[in-house]
Structure 1
Amino acid sequence: MLDWSRIDTVLLDMDGTLLDLHYDNHFWMEHLPQRYAEANDISLSEAQQLVIRMTDELRGTLDWYCLRYWSDVLKLDVLAIYREIEDRIAVRPHTDHFLRSLRTMQKRALLVTNAHPDGLSHKLAITGIDQWLDEIVSSHDLGHAKESSLFWHSLQERQPFDPSRTLFVDDNLHVLGAAREYGIEHLLCIRQPDSKHPAREITEFPAIHDFDEIVGPRER
Structure 2
Amino acid sequence: MLDWTHIETVLLDMDGTLLDLNFDNHFWQEFVPQRFADLHQLSLAEAKSQLQPRFRLMEGRLEWYCLDYWSEELKLNMVGLKQELAGLIAVHQHVTEFLDALRGSGRRLLLVTNAHRDSLSLKMEKTCLHQFFDDIISSHDYGMAKEQQGFWQTLQDKHIFEKHSTLLVDDSLSVLHSARVFGIAHLVSISKPDSQAPVRQITEFPAVEDFRALMPGLYPVLGL
TM-score tier by shorter-chain length is over 0.9
TM-fit CA distance, 1:121 = 0.5
Tell me by how many angstroms 1:175 deviates.
0.3
Give 3-state SS (helix, strand or coil) of 2:144's partner: coil
- In the alignment, structure 2 segments of 5+ residues that lack a partner are 217-221
Distance (whole Å) between structure 1 residues aligned to residue 117 and residue 35 of structure 2: 22
* Structure-1 residue corresponding to 2:102: 102
- How far apart in 1 are the matches of 2:65 and 2:173? 16
The aligned amino acid for 2:99 is L
Distance in 2 between residues matched to 1:212 and 1:134, nearest whole Å: 22
Deviation at 1:89, TM superposition (A): 0.2
2: distance between equivalents of 1:120 and 1:190? 20
**Quick one: which amino acid aligns to residue 70 of structure 1?**
W
CA distance in 2, matches of 1:79, 1:112: 20
User: 1:76 — aligned with what?
Assistant: 76
Structure 1-normalised TM-score? 0.97
1:111-135, CA deviations, whole angstroms, 9 ceiling, x for partnerless residues? 0000000100010010000100111
User: Superposed, which structure 2 residues align to 1:134-213 within 5 Å?
Assistant: 134-213=134-213
**How many residue pairs end up in the alignment?**
218
Partners of 1:51 and 1:122 lie apart in 2 by 24
Per the alignment, residue 65 of structure 2 pairs with: 65
In the TM superposition, residue 49 of structure 1 has moved relative to its aligned partner by 1.7
Shift of 1:52: 1.1
Secondary structure class of the residue paired with 2:167? strand
Whole-Å separation in 2 of the counterparts to 1:17 and 1:177: 16
Query: Matched residues in 1 for 2:115 and 2:98: separation?
Result: 21
CA distance in 2, matches of 1:180, 1:152: 10
Matches within 5 A, 1:20-99: 20-99=20-99
SS in 1 for 2:69: helix
The DSSP-based 3-state class of the residue aligned with 1:187 is strand
What's the secondary structure of 2:122's corresponding residue? Answer: helix
Runs of 4+ in 1 over 3 A off after TM superposition: none
1:46 deviates by 1.0
- Residue 163 of structure 1 deviates from its aligned partner by 0.6
Q: 1:45 offset after TM fit, Å?
A: 0.7
**Structure 2 counterpart SS, 1:56:** helix
Percent identity of paired positions between Structure 1 and Structure 2: 50
Secondary structure of the corresponding residue to residue 48 of structure 1 = helix
Give the match's secondary structure for 1:131: helix
